[in-house]
């Protein structure tokens, strides 16, 4: 009985030391992980890295270091970790195949965060959708459209298409096509259009606005009207200027014709 007790004490002493060392390794490891991630976070913040990318990278690093720490603790306790690592790798491979679509969106999200083709608040067109960017997520991005509805687009659907960022510059050009009748005074119509632009304080002087005859169409003589405005003024100006042009032309008696066709009928007289 005494020999059995001594055996238990010997085993307890041996495993107790291993357990104590494992606990110490775990505590020190957690402290090191905290210091490491804190240092990386400070460096990325000083570099002006996007908050979403910073959090994502820190989570990956923290998870990877925790896995390494757990393997070290298990190894200290005498657990065979070679098979554990193999199982972990196989599980990761299987999960990767099962989540191919999600991983594609995930990779696209990283590209959007790194290369910044747009940011939150920008007015963009992507994947056939147009709206204001509300959020750039890891797997999908959210747009707010004009009727205040929300569109969620998978990130792979954004990076795989052409992206138009209308907010990437401080100014934008407004493109209008205004038609007048063939019988109207061309010079006077041009002066009216130029005056409408000159009288609006939102029109930028540089680049200078353009008013020019662009086409002799079937039913009208068409002008291109191309003023530049600040990006924030674009839509309000677009709607205002369309109304102002119509009222100004009406006041001058200049017509804006609709598509029409003249039909000439000839009467034949039988002999």
Per-residue confidence (pLDDT) for residue 67, from 0 to 100:
82
Identify whether 237 is part of a domain: yes
pLDDT of residue 228 exceeding 70: yes
Identify whether 38 is part of a domain: yes
Q: Tokens for 202?
A: 């939102």
**Average per-residue pLDDT in the chain?**
81
- Residue 76 · residue 18 · CB < 8 Å: yes
The pTM is what? Answer: 0.56
Identify whether 111 is part of a domain: no
With residues binned 3-state (H G I as helix, E B as strand, rest as coil), the percentages for the chain, rounded to 5, are 55, 20, 30
- Residue 45 · residue 77 · CB < 8 Å: no
Identify whether 132 is part of a domain: yes
Q: What is the pLDDT of residues 129-160, one digit of tens each?
A: 899 988 887 788 889 988 888 999 998 888 88
Q: What is the pLDDT of residues 71-89, one digit of tens each?
A: 888 777 776 666 666 666 6
Tally helices (H) and strands (E) across the chain.
7, 10
Q: What are the CA-CA distances from residue 49 to residues 64, 88, 240 (Å)?
A: 21, 31, 40
Nearest in space to 204 (alpha carbons), one of 179, 170, 180, 167? 170
Q: Which residue range forms the structural domain that includes residue 199?
A: 171-251
Q: Which residue has the higher pLDDT, 199 or 44?
A: 199
Identify whether 182 is part of a domain: yes
- Residue 254 · residue 192 · CB < 8 Å: yes
- Residue 153 · residue 129 · CB < 8 Å: yes
CATH number at residue 47: 1.10.287.1260
* Region of poorest pLDDT, from 10-14, 50-54, 245-249: 10-14
Q: What is the DSSP string of 7-44?
A: HHHHHHHHHHHHHHHHHHHHHHHHHHHHHHHHHHHHHH
pLDDT of residue 175 exceeding 90: yes
Compute φ and ψ for 268, nearest 5 degrees: -100, 140
Per-residue confidence (pLDDT) for residue 108, from 0 to 100:
84
pLDDT of residue 164 exceeding 70: yes
- Residue 203 · residue 195 · CB < 8 Å: no
Identify whether 269 is part of a domain: no
Average pLDDT over residues 239-256: 92
- Spell out the residues 6+ positions from residue 165 whose beta carbon is closer than 8 angstroms to its own: 117, 118, 122, 123, 124
CATH number at residue 155: 2.30.30.60
């Amino acid at each position: 009985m005494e020999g059995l007790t001594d055996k238990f004490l010997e085993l307890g002493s041996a495993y107790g030391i291993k357990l104590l060392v494992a606990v110490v390794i775990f505590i020190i490891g957690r402290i090191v992980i905290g210091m490491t991630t804190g240092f990386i976070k400070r460096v990325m913040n000083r570099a002006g890295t996007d908050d979403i990318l910073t959090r994502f990278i820190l989570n990956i690093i923290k998870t990877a270091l925790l896995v390494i720490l757990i393997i070290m603790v298990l190894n200290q306790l005498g657990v065979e970790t070679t098979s554990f690592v193999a199982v972990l790798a196989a599980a990761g491979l299987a999960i990767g195949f099962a989540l191919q679509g999600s991983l594609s969106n995930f990779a696209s999200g990283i590209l959007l965060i790194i290369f910044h083709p747009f940011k939150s608040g920008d007015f963009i067109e992507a994947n056939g959708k147009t709206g204001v960017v509300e959020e750039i997520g890891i797997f999908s991005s959210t747009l707010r459209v004009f009727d205040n509805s929300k569109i969620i687009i998978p990130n792979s659907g954004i990076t795989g298409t052409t992206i138009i960022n209308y907010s990437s510059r401080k100014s934008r050009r407004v493109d209008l096509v205004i038609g007048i009748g063939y019988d109207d005074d061309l010079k006077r119509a041009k002066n009216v259009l130029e005056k409408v632009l000159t009288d609006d304080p939102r029109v930028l002087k540089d680049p200078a606005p353009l008013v020019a005859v662009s086409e002799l169409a079937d039913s009208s003589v068409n002008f291109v009207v191309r003023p530049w405005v600040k990006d924030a003024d674009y839509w309000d100006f677009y709607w205002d200027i369309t109304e102002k042009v119509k009222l100004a032309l009406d006041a001058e008696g200049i017509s804006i014709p609709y598509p029409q066709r003249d039909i000439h009928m000839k009467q034949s007289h039988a002999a």
